[in-house]
Amino acid sequence: MTLSNRQLAGTALVIDDQETLLTVALDMLTAKGMNVLTAQSGQEGIRLYQEHAEKIDVVLLDMKMPDLNGDVVFARLKALDPAVRVIITTGFEEEEVLAHFNGQSPVAFMQKPYRFQNLVEIIARVLAREP
């Protein structure tokens, strides 16, 4: 069975300022069996993580948002939980984005727009890793 044909388990926090992308991620991940929390800003994402950290298994984090960019949110999530599993999502090239993380890399990178199979495969790989 390929990763894209399997069900996923756990809870994802999706942080993105674009409502359409939040809806797409929510629909895709719930169709695969995940619980999903969504935040439309970096501040809201940090607050939701603080409130629900014990049940959040993976964070999908947009790199460019009006209030806080992904690298700032990532640093704050890491300060709250050094084992947090973060997938950076962006329309920019991976090398360009990862240069902003000062050597502390997220666990994965995913190019936007979301493609269902790619999203499922990346999350399945991240969830399979030990936190």
| Percentage above 90 pLDDT, the chain | 62
Q: Where are the beta strands (DSSP E) in 1-131?
A: 11-15, 35-39, 58-62, 86-90, 108-111
Determine the distance from the C-alpha atom of residue 54 to the mean position of all C-alpha atoms in its chain, rounded to a whole number: 16
- pLDDT for 57-88, tens place per residue? 999 999 888 989 888 999 999 999 999 999 98
Average pLDDT over residues 81-96: 81
Enter the pTM of the model: 0.88
pLDDT of residue 109: 83
Residue 4 pLDDT greater than 60, yes or no:
no
Q: Enter the tokens of residue 102.
A: 């000062």
pLDDT band, very low/low/confident/very high, at 108 (cuts 50, 70, 90): confident
pLDDT (mean) for 83-103: 74
DSSP for 93-108, written as a single string: -HHHHHGGGTT---SE
